[in-house]
Amino acid sequence: MRDTAVTRRPIICMLLTLLLVLSAGSFSICQTQGGGSSHNEQGWGYFKKGFYEYAPHNKHQEANQYYEMAIAEFKQAIAANDGDAAAHRNLARVYHVQGKYALSAVQYRRVTELNPEDVDAYVNLAVAYSHLHRYDEAIEQLELAKTKTSDPVAIGKLNGYIEKLEKAR
């Protein structure tokens, strides 16, 4: 039984990552997050350049250089205004792309504190936790996300992901 759970984990993580990309209709996870401070805007520009211009062409070193510049800008935006939810979300996004899921989770947690009704933040936090094999915490965040929406389609998708995570435990 343990071997089955181990082989399911990568599949669950892949499915939840796909949730980030494909769920823009139900939750606007992939919405543009520029705006706010000039540091956040600059960081968003660096992130987009690395993610859209270099990463798709397997130029990972170049992409990572832009991600590091983005991180520096987002941290400056947060230092100037810790209540800048967009900067926290963007920093979480960069950490996620870099595979730094624990750091990503910290930033998504902060977004849920700043915007308690933000369904996307709870879902993204759940994705980060699933990559860390913290399935109970991921399920808890998806359950919280369900309380933040009345959209039956979104709730149905969230229930489906919860079921998958319960099987991965």
Place domain 2-25+36-168 in its CATH homologous superfamily: Tetratricopeptide repeat domain (1.25.40.10)
Residues 148, 119: contact at Cβ < 8 Å? yes
Give the whole-angstrom CA distance, residue 144 versus residue 86.
20
**Residue ranges of the chain with per-residue pLDDT less than 50:** 1, 18, 20-32
- For 47, counting Cβ atoms within 10 Å of its Cβ (0-12 exposed, 13-18 middle, 19+ buried), the class is buried
Tokens of 142: 């998806």
Check residue 164 and give its pLDDT.
94
Check residue 37 and give its pLDDT.
85
